[in-house]
Amino acid sequence: MTVEYVLAGRLRRDYILPAAGRPLLDIPGGSLLYAAAGLGVWQKNVGLLARVGEDFPHTWLKDLARYGWDTRGVRILAEALDLRHFQASLDLHTVQHTNPVAHFARLHLTFPKSLLGYSPPSEKDDDRKTSRPDSPRPGDIPADYLSARAVHLCPLDFITANRITSAFRQADITTLTLDPSAAYMAPAALEDVRALLQGLTAFLPSEEELRSLFWDRSSDLWAMAEEVASFGCEFVVVKRGALGQMLYDSASRRRWEIPAYPARLADLTGAGDAFCGGFLAGYAQTFDPLRAVLYGSVSASLAVEGYGALYALDTLPGLAQARLESLAAIVRQV
């Protein structure tokens, strides 16, 4: 199989208690799969780059092949890794990741033995000095991935993001996008972020992450986008949830506001990752950043209408294209 797209990120074993509906216990998840599903709405031939422990269900990796995804870049370590991720939704905007015993009791559900001893990992501590064990390494990249059409990095620790982007830059990958980790989007890391963005096609932070990076320096999102674009990336896309996206083109200095598609909301988990996967597919096909944002917005709209990382792949044929054209009619340049 020819791998045209490469996604680097993390895999998880998800335990989801939705606000409504049946619980989803020990299912494949993680930012990598949400991004892959967002891309998979439009394209196949995707290579996945990640690390898992020997206790990760091998059948899950085999099952991913039916979506056209190559898992040779998923390195299985000779040790166990705790990749469990728990979340309980009290409502659409209130999600908790701690104290799973209390949430199962609240819903009168039997607590699964596989969640015993669970402790949520910290995602916000400064990670510029350490690399997480489940983060992929440059040595994990299969040789043919280095000639892919386009590459996207999901949120990873700073050291890993820096090493992986360097490896693909050296391979002359022309389309390289990055969704940052909240852990290094802080004023103290501004100079490190500056170096990381050099040569990127697109930088895709959330509004909260961008505001955190410029804390006490600016409150103008467009000014922030313009400054980070000056670090050396072509496009900056600010993900704003229900408010849609902002797109800044550093070459033309043009700005656009793209509304979110009015989806039927069920679960917002992974919406930003799905957006990034869709954006990569759209840009690699059209080389038009605005069109790419529309692709991403549609992918996100499909992801939030159900539960689980792979939900967006089960939508009706033609639905994504119909939403794409609907959104294109209401884009606004500012």
Please give the pLDDT value at position 17: 94
Per-residue pLDDT of the chain (334 residues; tens, 9 = 90+): 689 999 999 999 999 999 888 899 999 999 999 999 999 999 989 999 999 999 999 999 999 988 889 999 999 999 999 999 999 999 888 999 999 999 999 999 999 999 999 988 776 566 677 889 999 999 999 999 999 999 999 999 999 999 999 999 999 999 999 999 999 999 999 999 999 999 999 999 999 999 999 998 889 999 999 999 999 999 999 999 999 999 999 999 999 999 999 999 888 999 999 999 999 999 999 999 999 999 999 999 999 999 999 999 988 889 999 999 999 888 888 8
pTM: 0.95
Sequence-distant (≥ 6) Cβ neighbours of residue 305 within 8 angstroms: 263, 264, 265, 266, 311, 315
Q: Where are the alpha helices (DSSP H) in 5-73?
A: 31-40, 58-64
**Is the Cβ–Cβ distance between 192 and 184 less than 8 Å?**
yes
Q: Tell me, what CATH number does 147's domain have?
A: 3.40.1190.20
Query: What is the number of structural domains in the chain?
Result: 1
- The total number of residues shown for the chain amounts to 334
Q: Where are the alpha helices (DSSP H) in the chain?
A: 31-40, 58-64, 100-106, 158-170, 190-197, 207-213, 221-229, 271-286, 289-303, 319-328
Residue 9, H or E segment: none
Sequence-distant (≥ 6) Cβ neighbours of residue 199 within 8 angstroms: 165, 169, 176, 232, 233
Please give the pLDDT value at position 128: 75
Which residue bears the tokens 């009015």? 262
Q: Angle at CA 209, nearest 5°, toward 36 and 127?
A: 80
Which residue bears the tokens 């990796």? 61
Q: Angle at CA 224, nearest 5°, toward 122 and 244?
A: 75
Domain that holds residue 117: 5-333
- Nearest 5°: phi and psi at 51? -130, 140
- In angstroms, the CA 99 to CA 120 distance is 9
Please give the pLDDT value at position 126: 62
